[in-house]
């Protein structure tokens, strides 16, 4: 019997993932991660209650120190530099399928499972990650940074179910989290607003808000509290809006805003860094013509997939049509049909 460690957050998705694996005959062990001081104690209790009902071993691992020194520190540093990082994607790469993966392997782990909405499949003889049945809950966007060599050890048990079906399974099997609301926002902050968290580490620094013609529209408390495409919280009282953040100038502490139809808000070509592929070099080479591959891609979670061409040599992603509100620091994630083939960090927008 294969031993599988299930990362149980205390939500319905990971709870049902544990239930399904036990039903399939796996030797299931529940693991709850304590990642920050903002964690809701109720989540641990909910995960423990589900583990008791399923009659599986349950452990809590406190990784606040490791999480602080990696994901949290990286998030603060990138915001300070004017980028918009993606801590959930970094958490999957460095923590869940990084530090925790290695830790559990030492404890005899055969497999690790989560409640992500994603699927596993075979493509050209290799294990790959695919878009799940429930496209509205698709979480493959956050999985691009995983090491490809680890895919064989990872399971996504709820990938063939919709959210409604997952809740139905929980309810029919008397799991107490059946109606529990989904968590929102950044994983390690819980109910805390991002701007309030950042203010603990980054000082307020008054700067100008300009329109694209250089007119002063107002003032902001610091460029690092805003992100490209942001509409709310600008405190512009001159009228004529709505306005969206178009550019940030960290050196001058200036934010440039634009109206919906202004060209500055849209981008067709972006430069990437830290590319990671979840398919082998052999398959990638087969799909490429002159180091270029036709794909679909997204630069934000829940953004519709858009046709694009990826230049793997020069790390340039070119969309067929211009897209709105590309934010340097975010993840650009690539798909071939419904297969997650990789991703990278948006370094800068190109003209």
Q: In this predicted model, what pLDDT tens digit does every residue of 292-324 receive, in sequence order? A: 999 999 999 999 999 999 999 999 999 999 999
- The CATH classification number of 3-115+157-172 equals 3.40.50.620
What rounded mean pLDDT belongs to the chain? 94
pLDDT, residue 238, reads 80
Residues 63, 98: contact at Cβ < 8 Å?
no
Q: How many CB atoms lie within 10 A of CB 286?
A: 11
Helices 12-23 and 163-172 sit at what angle, rounded to 10 degrees?
70
pLDDT at 333 over 90: yes
| Choice among 39, 187, 288, 299 that is catalytic | 187
Residue 64's pLDDT band (boundaries 50, 70, 90)? Answer: very high
Note the pTM of the prediction, 2 decimals: 0.94
**266-350 carries CATH number 2.40.30.10:** yes
**Strand ranges (E), the chain:** 3-7, 27-34, 58-62, 111-113, 119-123, 126-130, 154-155, 207-210, 216-220, 243-249, 254-259, 266-277, 292-298, 306-311, 316-324, 331-336, 339-350
Could you tell me what percentage of the chain is helix, strand and coil, using 3-state DSSP and rounding each to the nearest 5? Answer: 30, 30, 40
Q: Is 266-350 the same fold as 3-115+157-172? A: no
For 85-124, how does the pLDDT look when each residue is reduced to its tens digit (9 = 90+)? 999 999 999 999 999 999 999 988 899 999 999 999 999 9
pLDDT, residue 310, reads 98
- The CATH classification number of 203-261 equals 2.30.30.280
Give catalytic status of residue 299 as yes or no: no
Identify the H or E element spanning 156. none
Q: Give the 3-state secondary structure of residue 320.
A: strand
| Choice among 39, 91, 288, 299 that is catalytic | 91
pLDDT at 247 over 80: yes
Mean pLDDT of 199-205: 93
pLDDT at 61 over 90: yes
Task: Locate the domains of the chain by residue range.
Answer: 3-115+157-172, 203-261, 266-350
pLDDT at 28 over 90: yes
pLDDT at 17 over 90: yes
pLDDT at 191 over 90: no
- Give the range among 28-37, 94-103, 192-201, 289-298 with minimum mean pLDDT: 192-201
Mean pLDDT of 48-64: 97
């Amino acid at each position: 019997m294969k031993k599988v460690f299930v990362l149980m957050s205390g939500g319905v998705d990971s709870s049902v993932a544990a239930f399904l694996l036990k039903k399939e005959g796996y030797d299931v062990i529940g693991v709850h991660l304590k990642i920050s001081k903002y964690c809701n104690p109720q989540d641990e209790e909910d995960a423990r209650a589900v583990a008791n009902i399923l009659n599986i071993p349950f452990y809590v691992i406190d990784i606040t120190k490791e999480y602080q020194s990696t994901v949290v520190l990286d998030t603060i540093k990138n915001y300070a530099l004017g980028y918009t990082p993606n801590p959930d994607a970094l958490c999957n790469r460095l923590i869940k399928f990084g530090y925790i993966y290695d830790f559990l392997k030492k404890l005899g782990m055969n497999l690790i499972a989560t409640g992500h909405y994603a699927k596993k499949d075979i493509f050209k003889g290799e294990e790959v990650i695919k878009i799940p049945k429930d496209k509205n809950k698709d979480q493959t966007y956050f999985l691009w940074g995983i090491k490809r060599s680890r895919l064989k050890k990872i399971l996504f048990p709820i990938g063939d179910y919709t959210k409604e079906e997952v809740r139905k399974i929980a309810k029919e099997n008397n799991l107490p989290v059946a109606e529990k609301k989904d968590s929102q926002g950044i994983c390690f902050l819980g109910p805390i607003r991002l701007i309030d968290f950042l203010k603990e580490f980054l000082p307020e620094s008054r700067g100008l808000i300009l329109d694209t013609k250089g007119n002063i529209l107002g003032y902001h408390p610091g460029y690092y509290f805003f992100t490209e495409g942001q509409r709310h919280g600008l405190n512009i009282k001159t009228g004529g809006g709505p306005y969206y953040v178009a550019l940030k100038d960290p050196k001058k502490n200036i934010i440039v805003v634009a109206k919906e139809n202004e060209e500055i808000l849209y981008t067709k070509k972006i430069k990437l860094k830290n590319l990671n592929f979840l398919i082998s070099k052999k398959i990638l080479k087969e799909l490429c013509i002159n180091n270029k591959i036709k794909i679909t891609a997204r630069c934000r979670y829940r953004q519709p997939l858009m046709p694009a061409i990826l230049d793997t040599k020069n790390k340039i992603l070119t969309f067929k049509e211009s897209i709105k509100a590309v934010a340097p620091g975010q993840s650009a994630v690539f798909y071939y049909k419904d297969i997650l083939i990789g991703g990278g960090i948006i370094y800068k927008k190109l003209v």
